[in-house]
Structure 1
C-alpha cells in the first residue's frame, strides 16, 4: 500500500561504468491519499469525460470526425518531439509534400497509423507490453528512429537531454530492469484487486512509463497515446476523442517539471493534480469542438439543400467526404461523386463560390481545395 503523501518515487543507482541512473519504485499496489483537492479534481474530470462520451453519441457519423482528432493529436504529439508538420500538411498525400518536409510528414503519418491500429487491436489485445511494442513498431517504421529497435524494448542505456550519459538531464533505469518494470506497470493497469480510480491509475501509469522510458525512441508519443488507449479500453470513452498532447504542449516546461518533481521530490500529488486538470480542460475543449462541428454540418447541409436544388445529392456526398478528408482535388471529387470530370469541376467551383472550399495552390492544373472552416475548428 502506498500513501500518496509519503510516496517514495525511487532512488539513484550507480552503474559499474560510472554513470548513475534512476530506479523507480514499483507501482502495482493500493494507493491512498488524504488531500481532498485530488478528490474534487477527480470528480470534475470524471464528469467532463462523461459529458464528452455522451456528446460523442449524439454526433451523427462520429467516425467521420475522429480522423481529424487523430490527425491533430499526431501533429501536436509529434511537434512536442520536434517535428514541424502542420495540420494542413498532415492531410496531404506524400507526393504533395516537399522533399525536405517528408521525414516529418512520415513521422506524423506513422503516428496516425499507430493510433488507429492500436484502437483496432484493443478488440483482441489488452493494454500490454505486446500491444505497446506493436504500436511502437508502426510508429518508428521507416523513419528517423528506424535503427532504434522499433517494436522492442531497449537493450542499451538511454538518456534525456545532454549529449552523453555524463551530462544527461535524466537517465532512466538500466535496460536490465525494463522488462520487470514494464511487467509491474502492466499488472497495475489490470489489477482489479486494488481500488484505484481509473483516472488516477492512468495518471500514475503515464508518469511511470515516461520514467521507465522503455524504448530508445518514441517514448513520449507512445506514453501520451497510452492515455487515450486506456480510456477507450476501460470504456470510459466509447470513441478515441481525448488527447492530452495539446494540453502538455501549451506549457511544455510545466509538463516536464511536474514529471521531474515526482522523481526528484517524490511529489506524485502535484503531478496527479496537473494531470486531472488536463483531463478536464481537454474534455471541455473536445466538447466545444464537437458542438462547433455539429453546428457547421447542419448549417452547410441546409445551405446545400437551398443552393444546389437537384444537384444537392451529389453536393451532400462531397460534403460528407470533406468531413473525413478536408483537402481534395477535382479528380478525387469525380471518383467520390461518380460523375464526369466536368461535372466534378463544376461542383467544386460551386463549393468555392459558396465559401465552403478554398483553392490553395494557385495552379491551373492539380489544384488543391481546402475545407478550411472545418480544419480551423481543430
Structure 2
C-alpha cells in the first residue's frame, strides 16, 4: 500500500507531536489549478509593488494601509473598533495612557507588523527571536514559547452541542515546539534547499505556524504578520502594506475550515488556492486604494494652490494624508508651522470643504474626509 503524501492528525484530543516536518510533497502543490492561481497572484502583487515603489510619500502607505490591515486582522480575533475610534487613538499615539480597549490592541498589532519588518531589515532572515518579538508586541507580555505545562487546545466555537470541545490539540512537550519552529525557519529561510515559489511557501508556512501554535495566545495575529513579513523578506514588496487580512475576515469561515481541512484530510490544494486568491484580491484592493489616495492628494493639492495663499502646501498636504485625523500639534511638532498659523490653515481647509473639524473628548481634530472615505470603503 502506497504511503500517503501527508500524514494527517489522527486524534484531535491528543497533542499532534507527529506533525510532519516541512517541506510537504511537491505533488500537493504542483497542480494545474495552483499554478494558474499563482500566476494571477504574482501578477497582481507585482503591479502593487511597482506602484508602491513610485510613491514619493511613503508615509501614506506606512500609516494608512498598514493600520487598516491591523484593524482587519484584529477583527478576525473578534477585536472590533470603529474607524473613528481607531484614528483618534492613532492620532494620540505616544500618549498611551488615554488609549484603551480594542483601539489599543489594533495599534499594538500595527506596531508588531513593523517590529517584524524592522527585525528582518536588520537580520535578513527569520529566527526564533522574530516570532517572540512580534508575539510580545501583539500581546504586550514578556513571556515566550509556551511551556510543556501549558495544555493548549483549539475549541469548537458557537453555542451548539459541541461548543467548547477540542477540534485540535497542538504539539506539546520538552523541546518539541523549538524543533518544529526550527524546521519552519529552515524551510522559510533556505530558498536554495527549498526552492518553492515564495507565495506558495508563504501559504505552507502560515499553516505550519498556526498548527504549531507556539504561544499561549495571539498565534493568529502573529501568523498573519508572518505572512506579510515573508512577502517583504522575499522582495515581493518593499513595505508590509498588503491588506491581506481583509480577504480573510471576509471569508473567515472558509479560512478556519480550510486550515482544519489540511490537518484532518490533507486538503493542501484547497488551502493554498485560498491563500493565493487572498493575495490576488487584496493586492488589487490595495493597488486601487493607493491610486484613489494619490488622486485625492493631487486634487487637494491643486485646490490649495489655486484657492489659497497657504505657505508650504506640500508639507501640509503630506501631513493631512499621513493619517485621517490631524491635530494642530502634529504640524507644530513637525516644525512646519507655528501654532496660530497651523490652526488658521487647518480652518481654511475646513472652509474649502477639504477637512471637517471635530471635537472629541474636548480635543479638536481635523478629518481628511476623502482619505477617510477611501480607507473605509
1:152 and 2:150 matched? no
- Which residue pairs with 2:81 in the alignment? 85
Of stretches 325-334 and 177-186 in structure 1, the one that deviates more from structure 2 is: 325-334
CA RMSD, Structure 1 to Structure 2 (Å): 2.7
Q: In structure 2, how many angstroms separate the alpha carbons of the residues matched to 1:362 and 1:140?
A: 28
Q: Give 1:332 shift.
A: 3.5
- Which residue pairs with 1:208 in the alignment? 208
Q: Give 1:165 shift.
A: 12
- Which residue pairs with 1:31 in the alignment? 26
1:58 and 2:54 matched? yes
- Which residue pairs with 2:106 in the alignment? 108
Of stretches 262-271 and 166-175 in structure 1, the one that deviates more from structure 2 is: 166-175
Q: In structure 2, how many angstroms separate the alpha carbons of the residues matched to 1:166 and 1:58?
A: 50
- Which residue pairs with 1:179 in the alignment? 178
- Which residue pairs with 2:343 in the alignment? 345
Q: In structure 2, how many angstroms separate the alpha carbons of the residues matched to 1:261 and 1:106?
A: 34
Alignment partner of 1:82: what SS? coil
- Which residue pairs with 1:357 in the alignment? 355
Q: Give 1:65 shift.
A: 2.3
Is contact 2:6–2:25 with CA below 8 Å preserved after alignment? no
Is contact 2:21–2:180 with CA below 8 Å preserved after alignment? yes
- Which residue pairs with 2:275 in the alignment? 275
Q: Give 1:244 shift.
A: 1.6
Q: In structure 2, how many angstroms separate the alpha carbons of the residues matched to 1:12 and 1:161?
A: 17
TM-score scaled by length of structure 1: 0.87
Q: In structure 1, how many angstroms separate the alpha carbons of the residues matched to 2:59 and 2:96?
A: 26
> 1:72–1:175: structure 2 CA closer, same or farther, 3 Å change rule?
farther
Alignment partner of 1:358: what SS? strand
Q: Give 1:96 shift.
A: 8.8
Q: Give 1:366 shift.
A: 2.4
- Which residue pairs with 2:134 in the alignment? 135
1:1-378 correspondence runs (5 A): 7-12=5-10, 19-23=13-17, 24-28=19-23, 31-32=26-27, 33=29, 35-91=31-87, 92=89, 93=92, 102-125=100-123, 126-141=125-140, 146=141, 150-155=143-148, 156-162=150-156, 167-176=165-174, 177-191=176-190, 192-309=192-309, 311-313=310-312, 315-336=313-334, 338-361=336-359, 366-378=363-375
> 1:151–1:356: structure 2 CA closer, same or farther, 3 Å change rule?
farther
> 1:154–1:307: structure 2 CA closer, same or farther, 3 Å change rule?
farther
Q: Give 1:341 shift.
A: 3.5
Q: Give 1:376 shift.
A: 2.4
Q: In structure 2, how many angstroms separate the alpha carbons of the residues matched to 1:239 and 1:166?
A: 39
Aligned length: 360
Is contact 2:232–2:238 with CA below 8 Å preserved after alignment? yes
Structure 2 unaligned residues grouped into runs of 5+: none
